[in-house]
Structure 1
Amino acid sequence: MSLDHAPRRRRTARRFHATPAAVTTAILVTGLLAAPARAEHGTGTPTGTVARTVGRAHFRPGPCPRTPEPVAALEKARCGTLTVPENRAEPDGRQIALGVAVVPAATGKPKPDPVVWLAGGPGDDAVGEAKTAIDGGLNRDRDVILMSQRGTYSADPALTCRNIDEFNAHAVGLVHDAPSTERLHLEATRTCRDRLAAPGIDLGAYNDTESAADYADLRVALGIDRWNVFGISYGTHLALVYMRQHPRGTRSVGIDGILPPSEAGSASTWSSARQGFDGLFKTCAEQPACNRRYPNLAATFERLVRDLEAHPVTTTVTVPGHPEPVKVVLDGGALVNWMTSATHVAAGVPRSLDELAHGKPRRIAEQWAGGRLSPQAFGRVAHGLAYGVFCGEWVPYESRAEAIRGGQDAFPSFPRSVLAQAPQLTFLRPDCEVWNVPAAPRSIREATRSDIPTLALSGGFDSQTGAAAGPYVARTLSRATVVTVPYEPHVVFATSRCAQEITVSFFDDPTAAKTGCLGGLEPPRFEIGP
C-alpha cells in the first residue's frame, strides 16, 4: 500500500531544541508500518549488479562515475548508469545518463532498506559527497546509494559552466551590486546558457519534477522495494517534492538544512540569514568574555553593512594557490554574503567583525576571496540545474516587491541597494530573464503533506536555511521529528557527531530517534582578539 493512501493519523508532534544545559522539549511520533524485505537481499543479489529496464528508464552496471578527486568511499562501490528521458513529455526524445554508485554496508548482513543521498546546491553532485555520507555512518548497516542528479558533474550532459565560476572569482574585486557588475554577471549567465543550449539541451527539463521521477525510476530499476531518503540543503527541497510526487517505496525521509519548496526564494533567504546571524550574536552575548570584548555585535554588523555600502573598502590579500595579490572590494552586499557563509567558522566571526570595524579588513577579505578562488569553486557546480530550479520554480512565484519586503522585515536598517540582492541570489531576477525557461506548474509550490516518518534537522547557526523551517514543514508532515542542533551551521550532518548519531538512530527506528547527545553540546569558544 502506498503511504499516499495510508490512514491519516492524529498528529502529536513536539519539537526538540537544545540549550547548553539540556534538551528543553521533545517529540512524540506515531508508530511506523513494518517495511517489507527487499527482494534483492532475499535472493542474495547485491544492489546495482543487475541490468533492468523500467518503462523508458534503464540501469546498466558499469564503471563508477567520475569525481573531481579520488573518493576512497567509492573504492568498494558497485556502480553503473541510469538512462532516462531528458523530458518525460517527449519520451522518445533525447536520453540522458546519470551516474550511480552503491556503497555497501559496513556489516556483512545489511538491512534490506538502503539510504539514497540527495545532494545540495542546486547543482552539487551526490557521488562527490560520498565521503560525507560514509564518514557520518550512514552505511553502518545499510547500503548507501548516490546518483548524480540530472545535469550535475558526473551526469551526461553535465550542465557546469566554468565561465560563471571564473566570473565569481573576478567579482571579489568588484562592487557587489553595481550596475557594471550586473552587466558582467548577466554576460556570464548568457554565455553559459548559449553554450548549453547550442547542442540541443532542453534547459526547461532540469527541475525537481524530472529529477524526482529519475529517483523513482532508480529505486525500481535497482529492484528495491523500500528505501530511505536523506537530503541535505537543496536536497531537502528535492526530497520534499519526491515524497509528495512519488511516496510509494519510501520507508522514511531525513532532511538536513531544510529548504521548503513552498517557501523558497529571496524572502526566505533573508529570513534564514537573520535567524543564523542572531543565533551566533546571541551566543556571543551569553559568554561574558565575548560580550565584554565585542558588545552589541549585532549592531556593529548592521552598522558595518550600512557604512560599507556607502563607502566600500578596497584591499589586497594573498589566498592559497594564488601567489599574486588578489584585489577585494568589501561593500554592504559583500559583507552580508560573507557572513552567510561565515557561520561555518563561528568562533572567529566576532573578532573578524571587530577588526573590520577598526579598519582591518584582512581576515574577512581573505575568507571572502579564498572561498571563490578555491580550486573546489571551479567547474563542479551545475549552474544549468541551479537556474532550472531557480527560474522555473522560485522566481515565477515571488514578486520583486515580496523579495524586497522579505529583506526589509528581516533587516529594516539595511540600505535598499543591499536588500535588492538577497544573500547568495545576486541578480537572480535578471538572470532568469536571460535563462528563459518555462515556469513550473504552481503545484510545485505546494506544502508537502505526508505520513512518511521524517527527521527534520536544522542548525542553530544556519544562516542559509534557517531553523524555523523545521517546525514549518512539520505542520504538514504528520510523523515528523523536529531537531535543532545548537551552535551548528548549515547541514549539521557534515559538522556534528551528535547530528550523525541522531540520523543513524532515526533510520534504525523512525519512531524513536535518539537525541540524548543534544544535552551535552557546548557553545563555541569565541576568539578574543587583543
Structure 2
Amino acid sequence: MPETRGHRGGRTVKLTVAIVPAASSRPAQDPVVFMEGGPGGEAISAIPFLVASGVNRDRDLIVMTQRGALHSQPNLACPEIDRFNAAAVGLPYDAPSTGRGLVRAAKQCRDRLTAEGIRLSSYNTTENAADFADLRRALGIKRWNVYGYSYGTDLALTYLRLHPQGIRSVAIDSVVPPQIVSLPWAWDSAQEGINTIFAACEAQPACKSRYPNLSRTLTEQVRRLEANPLRLTVQPPGGGSPVKVVLDGGTLVNLLVADGGGMPAVDVPAALDELAHGNPERFAQAQAAGATPAIGEFAHGLTHSVACSEWAPGYSKADVLAAGRRAFPGFPDTVLAHAPQLPFEHDLCRAWDVPDRTAIQRVATYSNVPTLIVSGTFDAKTGASWGPYTGRTLPRSTAVRIPGIGHFVVPQSPCAQRVLASFLTRPTAPDTGCVAGLAPEPFTITPELETR
C-alpha cells in the first residue's frame, strides 16, 4: 500500500494478510474481514480467539495487520515505551516525574521512527480504512462482512462511511464511536463500566450483604492510596522474580478500567474489600503483571499517531479534569487529571507532533448497511451505552448488551457468539433470543476480614 495516498513518489508499506478457511465444507461466498483494536494491537494474534468463537464457522476469515502494527513493514513498535512501562509499575502513576519519563520514551521512539523516513501523520484511521478497501479489491471479493472490536469499531465505522462498496454487513464489538471518542470520553466509559459492576453486586443478595457501599469503598481507597501510596514487592502472576510495585489512587483506577488488570470482574468486590482491610495482594499482583511486557509487540507508534491526531485535539487538560470530576466527584484531582489508559497524553502529543485530523475523522457514520452492535455491560474502556448511541445513525442496526462481560465481548460470551453467527446468516433479522436470559455470574464471596 502507499504510505500516503495522493502523495506521488512516496514510500509503500507492507501488510500481512492471513486467510483462515471456513470450517464448513460448503462455506458462504462472502467472507468476514476482522479489524483489530488498539490502535496498535496485532491482528494475527487474535486468530485463535476468533476461530474459537466460531467466526469462521460458515465463512472464510480474513485478518490483516494494520499499517504500523507487528508483521507490517514498517513496524511502529516503541521498545522505548515498553521498557518505560515495565519500570513504571514501580512508579507513582500520576507523578509529574512519571509523565516526564513517559514523554521522554515517546520522543525517543518518535525521533527514531522519523529518522527512518516514516511519515507518522500517515498512520491514521483514514489511510487504515483505505487499506481494507484496497484489500477487498486485491482479493477480488465482491462482498464481505466486517467485524471489528474496540478501536477496530472506530475503524470499521470509518471504513463503512468512506468505502461502503462491497460491504454486506458490519459487526462492531465494544464500540468506539468516531464522532465522540476523545480523552474526556474515557472517563464516561470508566464510570459506566465500574458502576455497572457495583450495581450487579448490589443486585445479588450475598454480594450486597458482604460488600455494601462499594462506590464509597472505592472512593475511600483511591483517596487513601493517592495520599499514601503502597510500595510493595510481589511475585508476578506469571511467575519470575519478585518486582517492586507502587499502588496509588491512579493505579487502582486504571487497573479497574483495564478489565481489573486481568482480574475477573467477579473478583473486584472481594479485591476492594481486601484492600480496605489491609490486604492489597490482588491489585498488587495485577500491577506486577505489567513488569514483563512483550517488548516490541504492541505498536505504540500507531496508538499515538491516531490518538494525538484524532482523539486528543479540541479538548484541553481542563476538559479531561472536568469530565473526571463529573464521573467520580470524590476522587482526587491528581487522579482525575489523566484520561484512563492514556495518562499524560497531552504532553506526549506535543512531543509526537502529528496534525489535527478531527475535522475529517470525528464524524458520525450514517448507513443502511445491516449492523450488529455488541457491548459488554462491565466494559469500563468502551461503556455499553455507546452501542445504542452509535446505532442512532444506523437505521438497520441491532444493538445487544451482554450482562457481566467486559471488553471484547464475542470471545467471552457463547451467547454473543450465537448472535454473531445468526447475524452473519441473516443480517437484517439476527436471533438475539439468548440475551434475555443472561445475568452476570455470582461474585466471589470471601470470609470477612479484620483490618490489619
TM range (shorter): over 0.9
1:233 aligns with 2:150: yes
1:172 aligns with 2:89: yes
Q: Distance between the aligned counterparts of 1:427 and 1:148, measured in 2?
A: 28
Cα deviation for residue 265 of structure 1 reads 1.5
CA contact (8 A) 2:311 2:358 kept: no
Cα deviation for residue 483 of structure 1 reads 0.5
Q: Which residue of 1 aligns with 2:59?
A: 142
Q: Which residue of 2 aligns with 1:367?
A: 286
CA contact (8 A) 1:315 1:362 kept: no
Pairing of 1:187-226 with structure 2 (within 5 A): 187-226=104-143
1:466 aligns with 2:383: yes
CA contact (8 A) 1:352 1:364 kept: yes
Q: Distance between the aligned counterparts of 1:483 and 1:378, measured in 2?
A: 36
Q: Distance between the aligned counterparts of 1:190 and 1:86, measured in 2?
A: 22
Q: Distance between the aligned counterparts of 1:91 and 1:258, measured in 2?
A: 35
- Percent identical pairs in the alignment equals 51
SS at 2:89 equivalent? helix
Cα deviation for residue 474 of structure 1 reads 0.9
Cα deviation for residue 441 of structure 1 reads 5.1
Q: Report the AA paired with residue 291 of structure 2.
A: L
Q: Which residue of 1 aligns with 2:200?
A: 283
Cα deviation for residue 515 of structure 1 reads 1.1
Q: Report the AA paired with residue 37 of structure 2.
A: G
Cα deviation for residue 341 of structure 1 reads 2.1
SS at 1:285 equivalent? helix
Q: Distance between the aligned counterparts of 1:498 and 1:287, measured in 2?
A: 22
1:431 aligns with 2:348: yes
Q: Distance between the aligned counterparts of 1:307 and 1:113, measured in 2?
A: 55
Q: Distance between the aligned counterparts of 2:119 and 2:251, measured in 1?
A: 34
Structure 2: gaps spanning 5 or more residues: 448-452
Cα deviation for residue 519 of structure 1 reads 2.6
Q: Which residue of 1 aligns with 2:364?
A: 447
Q: Report the AA paired with residue 381 of structure 1.
A: F
Q: Distance between the aligned counterparts of 1:319 and 1:311, measured in 2?
A: 23
Describe the shift of the 1:342–1:249 C-alpha distance in structure 2 as closer, same or farther (beyond 3 A). closer
1:378 aligns with 2:292: no
Q: Distance between the aligned counterparts of 1:403 and 1:253, measured in 2?
A: 31
Q: Residues 299-337 of structure 1, C-alpha deviation per residue, up to 9 Å, x if partnerless?
A: 101111111111111111011455322111111100000
1:509 aligns with 2:392: no
Cα deviation for residue 112 of structure 1 reads 1.2
Q: Distance between the aligned counterparts of 2:76 and 2:62, measured in 1?
A: 22
Q: Distance between the aligned counterparts of 2:246 and 2:292, measured in 1?
A: 18
Of 342, 347, 350, the residue aligned with 2:269 is 350
Q: Which residue of 2 aligns with 1:131?
A: 48
Cα deviation for residue 109 of structure 1 reads 2.0
SS at 1:397 equivalent? coil
CA contact (8 A) 2:237 2:288 kept: no
Q: Distance between the aligned counterparts of 2:412 and 2:318, measured in 1?
A: 36
Cα deviation for residue 114 of structure 1 reads 0.6
Q: Distance between the aligned counterparts of 1:275 and 1:379, measured in 2?
A: 32
Q: Which residue of 2 aligns with 1:62?
A: none
Q: Report the AA paired with residue 365 of structure 1.
A: A
Q: Which residue of 1 aligns with 2:181?
A: 264
CA contact (8 A) 2:270 2:444 kept: yes
Q: Which residue of 1 aligns with 2:247?
A: 330
Pairing of 1:46-85 with structure 2 (within 5 A): 84-85=1-2
Which ranges of 4 or more aligned residues in structure 1 deviate by more than 6 Å? none
CA contact (8 A) 2:237 2:285 kept: no
RMSD over aligned CA atoms reads 1.3
Q: Report the AA paired with residue 187 of structure 1.
A: R
Q: Distance between the aligned counterparts of 2:238 and 2:254, measured in 1?
A: 22
Q: Residues 452-500 of structure 1, C-alpha deviation per residue, up to 9 Å, x if partnerless?
A: 1111110010100001111111111111101000111011112111111
What's the TM-score once normalised by structure 2's chain length?
A: 0.96
Q: Residues 217-276 of structure 1, C-alpha deviation per residue, up to 9 Å, x if partnerless?
A: 000010011111000111001011110011111011000000011111221111111111
Q: Distance between the aligned counterparts of 1:342 and 1:475, measured in 2?
A: 27
Q: Distance between the aligned counterparts of 1:215 and 1:208, measured in 2?
A: 11
Cα deviation for residue 169 of structure 1 reads 1.4
Cα deviation for residue 209 of structure 1 reads 0.4
Q: Which residue of 1 aligns with 2:438?
A: 521
Cα deviation for residue 397 of structure 1 reads 2.6
SS at 1:384 equivalent? helix
Q: Report the AA paired with residue 17 of structure 2.
A: V
Number of positions where the alignment pairs a residue of Structure 1 with one of Structure 2: 445
Q: Distance between the aligned counterparts of 2:239 and 2:419, measured in 1?
A: 40
Describe the shift of the 1:374–1:504 C-alpha distance in structure 2 as closer, same or farther (beyond 3 A). farther
Q: Which residue of 1 aligns with 2:450?
A: none
1:162 aligns with 2:79: yes
Q: Report the AA paired with residue 486 of structure 1.
A: P
Cα deviation for residue 529 of structure 1 reads 1.4
SS at 1:257 equivalent? strand
Of 166, 169, 191, the residue aligned with 1:274 is 191
- Which has the larger Rg? 1
1:412 aligns with 2:334: no
Describe the shift of the 1:383–1:462 C-alpha distance in structure 2 as closer, same or farther (beyond 3 A). same
Pairing of 1:242-321 with structure 2 (within 5 A): 242-320=159-237
SS at 1:95 equivalent? coil
SS at 1:267 equivalent? helix
